[in-house]
Amino acid sequence: MGSNEDIMHDFVRRELKRLYPSVDGWQIKKAPRAGADPGFSISRRLLGRFEGSQVLVSFDRKVTGETVKALKEMAASNPIAGVASPRLILMVPQGAEAAGIPPEVQILPMQSFGFDGKELVWLKRRAQVSEKTTAKSA
């Protein structure tokens, strides 16, 4: 049986597949890492050159320097073949606090998860509940 974290990570992987589709040549591989949050290496070869990104997923409310350090360590220990300097991406829930992140790290908000106050919520589920209550009151 899978855990909630496994399901959440599946949603993240689906989002990455939408952003980096295999029909465009993108390959998404889970990056080995010691931490709890998953990491991914994304790469493709296009017109004879390689491009790629290292993506670290964090479900934390506040992105810290430790999270950035973990991303950089993951990128250093898991290089993408043919890519000298891959893009560094932190994928976080919508509404996460990401102040003070260095400019070389891109913040990518998740479409599936976000913060409602201090609570992490599944946004699609929240939208479905709102639709049902609107339909009942009409």
pLDDT digit string (tens) for the chain, length 138 residues: 445 667 888 888 999 999 999 999 999 999 876 566 789 999 999 888 999 999 999 999 999 999 999 999 999 998 998 898 999 999 999 999 988 899 999 999 999 899 988 888 888 755 444 444 444 445
Q: Full-prediction pTM beyond 0.85?
A: no
Contacts of 8 (CB under 8 A, 6+ apart): 59, 113
Look at residue 131 in the predicted model and tell me its pLDDT: 46
To the nearest 10°, report the CA torsion of 120, 1, 34, 67: -10
Instruction: Return the structure tokens found at 18.
Output: 């939408």
Report the alpha-carbon distance of residue 125 to residue 105 in Å, rounded. 29
